[in-house]
């Protein structure tokens, strides 16, 4: 919340007299804000700027992020976190938060993951450490890496393939095939329904078409 100062309070804050503030206001060097009734007031940001005080930016967090697809892989989840902690200790990094997530890498509705991205957007996160790219997201990693970079956050990938089980890739590929198979089946049913609808005009097939 911004802090506001009346003229007398502002004078004490900058160690000047009220009269000096009035002179600075008239000279356009430290212009006071005014209420609807004409009373002068100042903001702390304004006074600090005049004093040459640079506001300190909050320290950004370093976050360890580990993910597995199912509860049966909890041991893998712990292995990922242990690997990240070992790296952080060796690099002299302090982990401010450790996020252990359970859910498919193709699921973009992971609450913890989305909360992390919101914190990145808010400028609260300076570094995310993962053992492998697909621990963060199965597809589109480059986009998320740019997103984080644009908000002052670095994603450190330790490239440990052991923490990326092959069975997860298989399950994700099966899910993709299933989704597209359902869509293809739906399109075929839709096409058949259109062809049988007597109220719709029929399109003559060109020679050579099935």
> What is the set of active-site residues?
69
H helix intervals, the chain: 7-14, 18-26, 44-51, 74-91, 111-121, 133-136, 141-150, 166-196
> CA 151 from chain center: how many Å?
8
The DSSP bridge partners found for residue 6 are 41
Compute how many other C-beta atoms are within 10 angstroms of the C-beta atom of residue 103.
16
* Residue whose pair of structure tokens reads 């903001």 in the numeric block: 43
CA–CA distances in Å: residue 82 to residues 158, 200, 209: 12, 63, 60
Q: 177-195 as b/e, with b when 16 or more CB fall inside 10 Å? A: eeeeeeeeeeeeeeeeeee
> CA 2 from chain center: how many Å?
26
Q: Is the dihedral of CA 12, 16, 19, 24 positive or negative?
A: negative
Q: Would you put residue 73 in left (φ > 0), alpha (ψ -120 to 50) or beta? A: alpha
């Amino acid at each position: 919340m911004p802090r506001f100062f009346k003229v007398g309070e502002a004078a004490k804050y900058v160690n000047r007299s009220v009269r000096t503030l009035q002179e600075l206001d008239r000279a356009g060097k430290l212009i006071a804000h005014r209420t609807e009734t004409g009373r002068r007031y100042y903001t702390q940001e304004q006074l600090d700027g005049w004093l040459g005080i640079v506001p300190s930016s909050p320290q950004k967090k370093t976050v360890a992020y580990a993910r597995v697809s199912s509860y049966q892989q909890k041991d893998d989840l712990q292995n990922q976190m242990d690997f990240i902690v070992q790296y952080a200790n060796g690099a002299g990094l302090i982990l401010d938060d450790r996020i252990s997530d359970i859910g498919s890498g193709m699921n973009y509705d992971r609450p913890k993951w989305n909360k992390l991205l919101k914190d990145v957007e808010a400028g609260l996160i300076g570094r995310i450490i993962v053992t492998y790219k697909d621990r963060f997201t199965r597809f589109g990693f480059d986009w998320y890496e740019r997103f984080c970079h644009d908000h002052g956050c670095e994603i450190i990938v330790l490239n440990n393939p052991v923490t990326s089980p092959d069975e997860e890739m298989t399950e994700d590929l099966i899910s993709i095939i299933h989704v597209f198979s359902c869509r293809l089946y739906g399109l075929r049913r839709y096409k058949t329904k259109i062809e049988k609808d007597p109220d719709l005009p029929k399109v003559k097939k060109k020679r050579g078409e099935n």
